[in-house]
């Protein structure tokens, strides 16, 4: 089974817009098309972003919805414990995300973050770990084409 790291921005978008490409990724995961790897720092970051007053007021996301969403990830995903020792990005939060992918044996890291997907050196470094960094749409295309 293919293991994938979905970045915080993908999970947040999946919850806020149930009709967009990130939501389609979430549905594909729930349908068993791939495994997802998470860590406590990733889950905390997702919860933190979703709990921001601006997000809650604009999108009407309730605390109960956030708790249920995080619980779903906790129950259905593969968990790893990052050490915080990876130093590849300018943003330490991104390093924790990438370390989660590496420790979880992910073949793909899917993100909407230009710091991750737009940095050719970082993409090459992740490839050396056997991880392909892709946009949401590119990963959806791979799923649709059966090329995981």
**pLDDT at residue number 92:** 66
What pLDDT digit, counting tens, does each position of 37-85 carry?
999 999 999 999 999 999 999 999 999 999 999 999 999 999 999 987 8
Domain count, the chain: 1
Give the 3-state secondary structure of residue 38: strand
Please state the separation of Cα 7 from the chain's center in Å: 2
Which pTM value belongs to this model?
A: 0.92
Note down the domain range covering 46: 3-144
pLDDT digits (tens, 9 = 90+) for 89-147: 766 677 888 999 999 999 999 998 877 777 788 888 899 999 999 999 999 999 998 66
pLDDT value of residue 25? 97
Rounded to whole angstroms, the Cα distance separating 143 from 50 reads 27
Distance separating alpha carbons of residues 3 and 34, to the nearest angstrom: 6
pLDDT at 31 over 90: yes
Tell me the two tokens of residue 77: 């995903």
CATH code: domain of residue 18: 3.40.50.1010
Q: How far apart are CA 106 and CA 44, in angstroms?
A: 20
Q: pLDDT class for 88, splitting at 50, 70, 90?
A: confident
Give the pLDDT of residue 147: 62
């Amino acid at each position: 089974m293919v293991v994938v790291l979905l970045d915080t921005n993908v999970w947040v978008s999946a919850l806020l817009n149930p009709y967009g490409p990130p939501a389609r990724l979430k549905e594909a995961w729930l349908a068993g098309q791939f495994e997802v790897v998470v860590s406590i720092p990733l889950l905390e970051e997702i919860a933190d972003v979703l709990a921001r007053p601006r997000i809650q007021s604009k999108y009407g996301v309730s605390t109960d919805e956030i708790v249920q969403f995080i619980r779903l990830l906790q129950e259905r995903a593969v968990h790893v414990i990052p050490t915080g020792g990876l130093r590849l990005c300018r943003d330490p939060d991104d390093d924790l995300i990438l370390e989660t992918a590496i420790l979880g044996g992910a073949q793909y890291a899917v993100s909407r973050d230009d710091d991750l997907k737009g940095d050719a050196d970082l993409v090459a470094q992740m490839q050396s770990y056997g991880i392909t960094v892709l946009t949401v749409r590119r990963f959806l295309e791979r799923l649709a084409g059966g090329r995981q």
